[in-house]
Amino acid sequence: MKVPLQSVYNWYRGLIRNPKYRWWVILGTLLYFVSPIDIAPDFLPIVGQIDDVFLLTLLVTEVSGLLIEGFKARKGQVEAQVANTAEDSTSSSATVDVDAVSVK
C-alpha cells in the first residue's frame, strides 16, 4: 500500500479544519509529551528528538491557528460594533471606502 505524502497531508489539513478534531490533535499532542511511552525513545541520538520536534511543531501550529482565529473573530466583532455605533452617531450620509493606487 503506497500512499503519497501529499495525499496524507491533504487529508490531515482537511481533518483539522473541523474545530472538534483540532482540539483532539492538541489534546493528543499534549498527552504524548507527558506520556512515558514514546515512538522513538529519546536516548537514540537524532531519531529520538525528531518525533518530539515534529509533534511540538504540530502543537505550536494548531495552538497559534486557534489564537489567530480567535483574535480575528474578536477583532471582527469589535470593528462591527464600532461601525454600528459610528453609523448611529453620524447622519445618514453614505461612506465610501476607496483603495489608493499609485499611477506612474
Domain assignment present for 53: yes
Residue 39 structural domain: 5-83
What is the average per-residue pLDDT within 21-40? 83
Output b/e per residue, 70-104; b: 16+ Cβ within 10 A.
Answer: eeeeeeeeeeeeeeeeeeeeeeeeeeeeeeeeeee
What is the average per-residue pLDDT within 1-25? 77
Domain assignment present for 102: no
Total H helices, total E strands in the chain: 3, 0
CB 45 within 8 A of CB 55: no
Interhelix angle 19-34/5-16, rounded to 10 degrees, is 110
- Reply yes or no on whether the pLDDT at 42 is more than 60: yes
User: Cell 462591527 identifies what position?
Assistant: 80
Per-residue pLDDT reduced to its tens digit, 50-67: 888 888 888 888 888 888
Total tally of structural domains belonging to the chain = 1
Domain assignment present for 94: no
Domain assignment present for 91: no
| Confidence class for position 85, pLDDT limits 50, 70, 90 | low
Domain assignment present for 100: no
